[in-house]
Amino acid sequence: MSLALAHSRARVGVHAPAVRVEVYLSGGLPALNMVGLPEAAVRESRDRVRAAILCAQFEFPARRITVNLAPADLPKDGGRFDLPIALGILAANGVIDPNALSDIEFIGELALTGELRAVDGVLPAALAATNEGRRLIVPLGNGAEAALAGNVRAFTARTLLEVVAHLNGEKTLPPAIADRRVTTETTYPDLADVRGQGQARRALEIAAAGNHHLIFIGPPGGGKTLLAARLPGLLPPMDETEAMEAALVASACGQGVDPGQWRQRRFRAPHHTASAAALVGGGSRPRPGEISLAHHGVLFLDELAEWSRRTLDGLREPLESGVVTVSRAARAEEFPARFQLVAAMNPCPCGWAGDPSGRCRCPSEVVARYRARLSGPLLDRIDLHVAVPRLAAHEIRIDAPPGESTAVVRARVLAARERQQQRAGKTNARLSQAEAGRDCALEARDGNLLEQAMQSLQFSARAAHRILRVARTIADLAGCERIATAHLREAIAYRQLDRGVFRAAA
C-alpha cells in the first residue's frame, strides 16, 4: 500500500480554492476509482491519465487506485486535474519522490499522447499559489497568463515527461514569462469619423471624463453606434489593479489574457437577444456575465428598447454597487461589475418619431408601449440622455470638414481625470453622496436653479445627485475649481428623458 499527495486548484467564479489530490494504491483487482464530487470531465480523466502515462513510457500500476479530490464538498470540473492525478499515481508507484510534490501546485489537461493542454482560470490559481508560497507548473499555453500574477514562481511544460524529469532533478523547466508592456497595435476608431452631432460628441467627452453612463436616442443612421464605438479610445489605460481585476474575470471565463494588451479597456456589445444569465451572470454553476466581462471597461447595449425588461432591470444594482451576486441553491458567487454603460435606442418602433420629415406612422399608444419597456429606475441611473437627430445633407458630404480627432479630445479627458484623481482619488461618477456634497458645492443662486428644475421637471433625488456629478465633470473639463451656472445648466439639459423630450405618454 502507498499514498501520494499532489496540490492543485479548482475554478469557482474568479477564485481558485485549493484542492488536494490524494492517490492511494492498494491490493485488489486493477481499477481506478475517483471520489470528491468529480463532474463528468473529471471522471473521464481516468482514461486520459492512463493513456498519457503509458505513452510517456511509464508503467501504469496494475493495482486498485483510489483518487480523492479534497475537499469532498467542492464540485470539481474540467480537465485541469489531469496532471496532478497522473503525478500522484506516478509518485505512489515510486516513479517520483512523493516529497517533490509538497511545495508545487499543478494544473493542466493531458492529451492521450502525454502533451499538456491549456485550461481556463490559470490567473486566479497563480495568484492563490503565490499567496500560499508554492511554485506552480502549468501548460506552455498558460505560461504568459500565469506570469501576470507578478511574484509567482511559475514554470511551463509541454509534456508529462518533462514534468517528471523536472521533479526528478533531471531537467529544469523554463519559467513562465509575460511581457506586460502595452502594445501600440490596438487602434480604436477615430472620433473624427463622426460627422456632425456636436451635442452627442460633447456628451461622449463628458461621459469619458467622468465615467458617466450614457444613452443615445435617435432615428436609425444618425451615428449612435458609431459614437459608442469611439468611447474606449477616449479612456485612459487601466492601472495595474484594474487590469488585474479585469484579467481575473477574463481568465475565469476562458477568454485568456493578452499580456501586451491586458491594460486596454474592454468593449462588450452583446446582442439584444441575450438572456439575463448571459448579461448579468448565472447558470447552475454561477459564471460571470457580460457586465463582469466589461469590468473597468465599456458595456454597449444597442437597441435598448428591444431588450427584455426583466433582463435590463438586472442592471440596477450593479450600476450602483459595481458588483453582482449570483445566488443559487448550492452556493452564491460575487463577481466584479464596475462597468460604464453606453446604450442606444430608437424613439419608436419605426425609429422616426419626432423627425421633422414626419415619416413616423406609429400610433401614440404603440410609441408609449415601446418606450415603457425601459423602467424608470433604470433610466434614473443613467447620467446623460442625449438626442442624436438625423443628419442634414450637408453634414454627411465627403468633403465636409471633420470634427476633432480622438487624440485631441482624449487629451482633455485625461486632464479632467487627473483633476478628479488629485481631488477625490476617483472619477466623479463614483463619488459618494458625502463626497458629492463636498466636491460639488453650488453657489446659492445655482442651488435655487437646481431646486426649481427638480420641481418643474420632476427630477428624483438620485437624478439631482447625478446632475451635480455631471456638472462637476463639465467644470473639470473647463479647468474650473467650482461649478458655474453654465456647467449646471448644461448638466440639467442632458436629462432629456426626465424632461419629457422622449417620455412615453401616460
Q: pTM for the whole thing?
A: 0.88
Q: Are 47 and 82 in contact (CB under 8 A)?
A: no
What integer pLDDT is reported at residue 503 of this predicted model? 44
- pLDDT for 505 equals 32
SS3 at position 258: coil
Give the ranges where 289-443 is alpha helix by DSSP (H): 290-293, 309-313, 316-321, 364-371, 376-380, 406-424, 433-439
Report how far residue 335's alpha carbon sits from residue 12's, in angstroms, rounded to the nearest whole number.
11
Residue type present at position 92: A
Cis peptide before 71 (omega within 30 of 0): yes
The pLDDT value recorded for residue 330 is: 67
Q: How far apart are CA 490 and CA 481, in angstroms?
A: 17
**For residues 166 and 155, is the Cβ–Cβ distance under 8 A?**
yes
Q: Tens of pLDDT along the chain (506 residues)?
A: 589 999 999 988 888 999 999 999 998 889 999 999 999 999 999 999 999 999 999 999 999 999 999 999 898 999 999 999 999 999 999 999 999 999 999 999 999 999 999 999 999 999 999 999 999 999 999 998 999 887 889 999 999 999 999 999 999 999 998 766 555 445 788 898 888 888 999 999 999 999 999 999 989 888 899 999 999 999 999 998 999 999 999 888 877 777 777 888 999 999 999 999 999 988 777 888 999 999 999 999 999 999 998 999 999 999 999 999 888 766 778 899 999 999 999 988 888 887 777 788 888 888 888 888 888 889 989 999 999 988 776 667 666 677 889 999 999 999 999 999 999 999 999 999 899 989 999 999 999 999 998 888 888 889 999 999 999 999 999 999 999 999 999 999 998 776 554 443 32
Instruction: Provide the residue type at 370 as one letter.
Output: Y
- End-to-end CA, the chain: 79
Per-residue model confidence (pLDDT) at position 24: 95
User: Residues for the chain: how many in total?
Assistant: 506
- Per domain, the residue ranges of the chain are 2-167, 191-499
Q: With the C-alpha atoms ordered 258, 323, 201, 377, is the resulting torsion angle positive or negative?
A: positive
Provide the greatest CA pair distance for the chain.
90
Backbone angles phi, psi at 364, to 5 degrees: -60, -35
* CATH topology assigned to domain 191-499: Rossmann fold (3.40.50)
CB 202 within 8 A of CB 402: no
* Beta strand 298-301 pairing with 267-268: parallel
Pairwise CA distance, residues 118 & 140, whole Å:
7
**Cβ atoms 467, 488 nearer than 8 A:** yes
Q: CA 270, CA 280: separation in Å to the nearest integer?
A: 11
Closest C-alpha to 108, from 146, 62, 142, 69: 142
Burial code (b: 16+ CB inside 10 Å, e: under 16) for 389-424 equals: bbbeeeeeeeeeeebbebeebbebbeebbebbeebb
Total Cβ atoms within 10 A of residue 438:
12
Per-residue pLDDT at 403: 80
Q: What is the DSSP letter of 10?
A: -
Instruction: Return the C-alpha cell found at 386.
Output: 442625449
DSSP one-letter code for 168: T
Q: How confident is the model at residue 506, as a pLDDT?
A: 27
In CATH, the number for domain 2-167 is 3.30.230.10
Q: Give the residue among 144, 140, 124 at the shortest CA–CA distance from 132.
A: 124
